Structure formats: structure tokens, C-alpha cells
A and B are shown apart, each in its own frame.
Chain A
Amino acid sequence: MREVVIDPITRLEGHGKIVVVLDDAGNCKKGYLQIPEIRGFEKFAEGRHAEDMPQITSRICGVCAFAHHIASTKALDDLFKVEPPIAAKKVREMAYNIFMLEDHALHVYFLGGPDFIVGPTAPKAERNILGVVGRVGKEVGLRVIEMRKKLRKTNEMIAGRTIHPVLGLPGGISRPITSEEAQEIRKLGDESLEFALFTLRVFKDIVLSKKEYVDLIASDAYTHKTYYMGLVDEKNKVNFYDGKIRIVSPSGNEFAKFDVHDYSEQVAEHVEPWTYVKFPFLKKVGWKGFVDGEDSGIMSVAPLARLNASDGMATPVAQDACREMFETLGGKPVHHTLANHWARIIEMIYAAERLRDLANDPQITDPNIRSLPTAIPDVGISVVEAPRGTLIHHYETDGRGVIKKANLLVATQHNSARIALSVDKAARSFIRGGNIDDGMLNMVEMAFRAYDPCHSCATHMLPGSTPFLIYVYGENGTLIETVKRKLP
């Protein structure tokens, strides 16, 4: 028996580690993904002023700071029983869609995308943003960098800061949008939609036009039949900012649709001793171990799950793109993990359309942006869709608004059991006969990269290849060999 340790996995913040166990023939018997860190926000939230939570919880993740900030702000509306003015809600949702678009674009071009745009087994020297630029042209690379910069600058204008924003207060937002700012945001909306559609064209030209890529997306090594969860509006369309949580079964039937206040009746968390991350599962189905199927409570979140759990997109262009994806991949639900990349681009289109609609809404510049809370706070629960899936904040306070208890169900966490399944299955599919090469390892990495995992919750992978240091251990625990993946 041999053990292969991949530590750390890069393009995964939070210091992830993969352990692959080989049998005597050198075939992978089992693959584990370990998360070796805990930060304890649920504990030290206790004693804090509730209104400070949007700024404290954003420190869970400097990449999706906006998601925690807005989830927390909405939990405060609920806690203080205050309804924000319509302009405040619209500005929050608008800034939120700018954030979703920027975060998704980062993944498509810099992180997961290179696997497809350049190719899964392409030389690692090319499997990065530079390789992407090589394929699609330098002007495209510059356009991507420029777009990301504009989106981030705009959110700094709206929310004070992009990393750790100061926008949200119970009952509203900290500052209104001026008409000059609205003008700028409208321009950004048009540009964003053009950019998202361009991204879809790139994906179609480079990925969907190649049969071997489409086959890879649909291959068994990257397929799990699990439940899917996501936020939907009153017409069961995807919404990132608000709505009801909907869950569909592996066969595509609605399993549950509920208000976030009932989340603890639906979702439970399983604990394993070999990792710090907890494994959420559907309480009414139960934890049956690391297996998929109708009888296992393992569920999935994030772009593909959101599309699976909804009746499509609320905006017309995104809806067309969504319909096309399901037609191409054989109807709902799609169980192929790698289809997340496609779904992510469809969500970019939706975010851009939604941004455009909100930026053109005359109410967006209404100076009435605050309702002052008057009720005595007690319990506040909220949900948003973070780029990486359903994010739930739950606070209980005393009458002065001081946190007594907090529970946080973070996006990637909902995916953690399915990611564990994916890493194990891909390792067993691709690591055979004792030979371990770079291409194989990338195929294993691709299994988790498609989820854009964010384990502390912080992924921020930079342009570059994915370096590994692999230790191969013998039965008596001595190091037999070290395999390195190097930068060019």
C-alpha cells in the first residue's frame, strides 16, 4: 500500500491537501481532500455588536467578502425587523451582481477556464492565463483585466471598499447613488453584457466545438447524481440576492422549497475526524457516507446546482443560453461537475443583464436609503447565493443587539461532501498502474477546481500553473519518492 499526498493544492486557498491511497498494483484505492484549518468566526461572533457583523464576517473571505457582507446585512434587516427602502435594496442587489460577475470572470479566465480553453492535458506551462491569452489573443487578455478592474472600482465607489465593504446597515445602506454615478454604472452594465456574451462565444468556439471536450464534460469520472440546491424567485428563476431555497432530487423533481428561516429543518452537518470542514447534508434524507444517489443526503450548490434547482433564468439572454446548455447536455438535471464552467458563464450573462436593468431603474438614485430600526432585536436569519453557492447567516442576540449565538453555513461547505466524492472518483479513474504524471494530476485537480472551491472560505488563485509536491510513502511509512510539479 502506498500513500500519495498532494500538499498544498494551489488555486485553492485555505491550504487544502489531497491524499491518494494506492493498492499494491499502484491503482488508486481512495482519495481524500483534507482542509487543515479552522478559524472560528461562529465562536468569536459571540459578544459582538450585531451591526458590526457585516464588517466582521466579510473577514471570513477577502475574495467573496461581498457575499458575507450582504448575507450579514440581510440577517440584520431580519434581526431588527426593519424593511429597507426600495432604493437600498436595489443598490445592494446591483452591487451584488457586479461582484458576482467579477468573481465568475476571474474563475473563467484565470482559474478553471484554462483547463478547457488551453486544454486539460496541455503542457502546464500553457495552462494558465497566459496560455488563455495565447489562444484568444492579447487584446482579449487586456480586455479581461480592464473589465475586472472596472467592476472592482465601481463597487469601491458604491460600497466604500471592494475588499471588506462598508455598505450594509440594518434597514438600508450607508450612502446613496448620485445621478452621475448611476450614469457610469449604466455604461458598465452595457459593457458587462457585451463582455459576458463574448465570454460565451469564446467558450463555444474553443470548448463546445471540440467533441473530446464535450465527451470529457459528460464522462463518468466527473459525474455524480446528487441533490441540488439554490435560491429562486417567485417564478422559480435563479436569483442571487433573495428568494426561497429550492432543492431538486437527482431525478430532477422538487424535493423541497422553503424559507431560509426553516433551514435547520432541512440541512444538517456531518463531522469527520480527518478534516476541519463539516459536511452539510439533507436532514430528511440522512447522512449515508460518501456516496451519491437518491438515498444519500449529499447535495450540491454553486452555478450548475443553481441552474438545476431552478426553472431557468429571469433575464432573456441568459435564459436562451441556459436552455441551450440543458439541450446540449441531455436535459435537467445535469450531473456533470465540469458543466459548472458553462453554467458559470450563463450566470455571468444573467448578472450583467440584472445589473443593466437595475442601473436603468430610476429608483436607484432615490436618496431615501435608510429605515431606522425601532424594534427590539432577537433572531436574524438570511440567505444569498454566493458565487460558490448558498450562504446562510443566522444570529441570535440579546435586546441590546449583542450576538449571543451565530451559525454560518458557508457556500463551499455545502459542496464539501460532493467535492470529496469528486476527488475520490477522479483519483480512482485517472491514477492507475502506479505511474503518476502531470496530466493525471491535473485531471484530479480539475475535479475540485470546477467547483471553484473556497475553503477558508477564500480561493484566490493567481495566474500560473498548479504546483504540487507529492510524497509517495511505502508501507512502513518511509518516503519512497517525491514527485514535483514545477513551474516552467
Chain B
Amino acid sequence: MEKPKIAMYWCSSCGGCEEATVDIAEKILELADLVDIVFWPVALDYKEKDVENLPDGSITVSLINGGVRMTDHEHMVKLLRKKSKIIVAYGACSSWGGVPGLLNLYGQEELFSRVYSEVPTVENPEQVTPSRSTKVDDVELMLPEVLPRLLPLDRVVGVDYYVPGCPPTAEVTWRALEVLLSGKAPPQGSVIGASEKALCDECPLNGTKPDRVLVQDLKRPHQVIVDPEKCLLTQGLLCLGPATRGGCQALCVKARMPCTGCFGPLDMVSDYGAKAASFFASIVDFQDEESIERVMDRLPDPVGTFYRYTLASSALGGRARANRK
């Protein structure tokens, strides 16, 4: 029998997802026995033409990481969709836009003006900015364009499964591959490889978490020295564990830092940030208006706190702002 064909591709990626894949080191050899990797630009011959030549639907699984930021990313993921039976959004950026999705708070003009004109080091008297086409030495040098917004993969093509995490851990990655190759496909749209429960369920401090958490005051991580034996929420730190999917084995909490939500929402939650914000509202012990103000003053950046990895997938989507031509 023919081995299943796997493709891997990255869009606007930091490379952490690629490193995470490599960190399953010994298992990669096992994987190579089970599948044929037909496309992986970072490791194998670049064959966009060969992908075009494949019959539609002939790739069993394509794993795609990074958000869709540039026009060439958009082109490539559409091609892979056509050629693949299963598309997997691998990692936080591909699933919900990730940290770079925060750029959706700003338009391209603001981005270019900050980077190519405003920063204190730029010397750019003619206000040059990168452009789609530049003629130098009689040759036209082409660049892909920045899309008006960074898009999670499922805003561009249909996605069958999601593997969460920034990045997904080696264990989560391997479990997801096992599910994909088992032949027993879970329902379309499922999150695979991670837990079905909230992070608290696997957190070593869960035993110290009271049934009903109530905080009088909120502290930012640099304002408190953590007691490593006590649930961080009870110490006034905004740990997003209760709103976040488990699977990482509480790596950050074990290092005495609060969960920031990189494994995203649990099943049935479409807007992680809204869920996280409502969880936050539920634990603050508001006595009066003054106490509301005091607590909100401790949280000047709710967007970066609740939507750090999911802004691009949120119903809010970012600041509504037209790109002037």
C-alpha cells in the first residue's frame, strides 16, 4: 500500500513551530517510515511546480504554521488546500493569528510609517518604502505585498484540524500526528493533540485553587514575588489557565509565571479573548466603583492580555480602519 503523503509549509512564522517539529527528533525517523514527506521547503527541495502538478486531493495531510500575512502566503495555502485531503492549522499563529496578529490593531500605513520613517534610527529623506515592483539595472525586482490584515489560516482556506500552542510542544505534536495517521478521523474542526480540559486540570498548583476564586486586587507579574506552592490566581496574578486549553503540562506556571493563553480556547468557545475577559470579570471581588477602577487601572492593556494570541480570529478582528490608497 502507498504511504500517506505529508506536506509542511510556513507562512508568517517565527520558526518556533519548525523547531518544535525538530524537537520530536528521534520520532522523526519513525515518522519517515510511516509517511512520504512530499513538500517541506525548509528541509526539502522547493517544488511549488511539483505541488501544482500533483493531482488534486493527493496529499493526505498538509501541516501549515504561521499566519497569512503576505500575498504569496495566500497563494501557497490555496494551492495546498486544492491538493490536500486534510489541512491542519499547526500552532497559535495559524490557528488564530498568534502574537503577530496584534498588528491588526494598526493599518499598513501606520506600520510603514513607524518602521521606515519614524523610528529614531531611520535616515530616509526621500521617504522610500518597499514596493511591489522596483526597476533597478533594467531589471524589475518584485516583492510580495502585505495583506491589509494578518489572517488565521481558516479565514483563507477551509481547515480540518487545529494543533494549538505557541509553539505546540513535542508531545502535543506527536499525539496529533498519531491521531492523523490512525485512520480514525475525529469530527472536522477538532483540536487535536492537546487536552480537552482547561490547563488547571494538569497544573501542579490546582490543589491549592479554591472552589471560587475571588481577588481583591490585581498584580502585574513584576509587582509580586510568587509563592511557588500556591495557585497564582490566589496571589493576585492574572493566570489564564482556567480559560485556556491544557496540553502543555503547565510549563509557564512551573516556572512561576502565569499562563498567557497560548493554547487558546476550549471546545465550544469561538472567541478566546471574550471568554478570558469574562472569566476575569467573574473572579474580581468588586466592592464599589472605586474598586473597579483600581483593578482596571492594573490592566491598562486588556487587548494584549486577553487577545495576545487570538486577536486576528476574534469577532473584533482589530481596529476597524480603512487603508487609504
Mark A residues whose CB is within 8 Å of B.
1, 3, 8, 10, 13, 15, 19, 21, 29-30, 32, 34, 36-44, 46-49, 51-52, 55-56, 59-63, 65, 76, 80, 145, 149, 152, 156, 159-161, 163-164, 166-167, 169-171, 174-175, 263-264, 267-276, 278, 280, 283, 287, 370, 372-373, 394, 400-402, 407, 409, 456, 458-465, 467-469, 477, 482, 484-487
Contact = CB atoms under 8 A, between A and B. Distances in A.
B130 A274 contact: yes
A149 B22 CA distance: 11
Contact of B115 (A19, A42, A48, A460): A42
Given A37-B70, A402-B301, A44 B130 contact: no
Contact of A145 (B16, B25, B111, B251): B25
A160 B14 contact: no
A278 B42 contact: no
Interface in B286-316: 297, 300-301, 303-305, 308
B131 interface: yes
A484 B256 CA distance: 50
A56 B49 CA distance: 36
A39 B112 CA distance: 11
Nearest to B220: A51
6 contacts: A37-B70, A149-B25, A278-B116, A456-B14, A460-B42, A464-B43
Classify the interface of chain A: helix, strand, loop or mixed: loop
A163 B110 contact: no
Contact of A49 (B47, B48, B129, B300): B300
A3 B43 CA distance: 26
Given A63-B19, A458-B13, 13 more contacts: A36-B72, A40-B103, A40-B115, A43-B111, A44-B100, A49-B305, A56-B304, A59-B166, A174-B256, A264-B121, A276-B143, A278-B122, A460-B42
B167 interface: yes
A122 to B, nearest CB: 18
A126 to B, nearest CB: 16
B12 A39 contact: yes
B250 to A, nearest CB: 10
A145 B26 CA distance: 10
Nearest to A377: B222
B257 to A, nearest CB: 4
B75 interface: no
B257 A458 contact: no
Interface stretch (B134-142, B172-180, B205-213): B134-142
A409 B144 contact: no
A487 B23 CA distance: 23
B251 A276 contact: no
Interface of B: 10, 12-20, 22-23, 25, 41-49, 69-70, 72, 98-100, 102-103, 105-106, 110-111, 114-116, 119-124, 128-131, 134, 136-141, 143-144, 146, 166-167, 220-226, 228, 251-252, 254-257, 260, 297, 300-301, 303-305, 308
A280 B121 contact: yes
B304 to A, nearest CB: 4
A76 B222 contact: yes
A164 B167 contact: yes
Nearest to A396: B120
Contacts of A42: 114-115, 119
Contacts of A63: 15-16, 19
Given A166-B257, A273-B134, A461-B42, A49 B301 contact: yes
A264 B121 CA distance: 6
Given A39-B69, A43-B115, A62 B17 contact: yes
A31 B39 CA distance: 28
B255 A166 contact: yes
Contacts of B44: 464, 467, 487
A23 to B, nearest CB: 10
Contacts of A394: 120
Contacts of B304: 47-49, 52, 56
Contacts of B119: 42, 269, 407
* A-B residue pairs, 6 tightest by C-beta: A62-B16, A160-B255, A458-B15, A467-B45, A462-B43, A274-B141
B251 A62 contact: no
A467 B46 contact: yes
Contacts of B47: 469
Contact of B143 (A29, A275, A401, A409): A275
Contacts of B49: 469, 482
Contacts of B297: 400
Contact of A59 (B14, B146, B226): B14
Given A36-B70, A372-B223, A487-B44, A273 B129 contact: yes
Nearest to A267: B121
A463 B16 CA distance: 17
B127 to A, nearest CB: 9
A440 B121 CA distance: 37
A113 B4 CA distance: 34
Given A47-B303, A264-B120, A13 B17 contact: no
B22 A462 contact: yes
A62 B143 contact: no
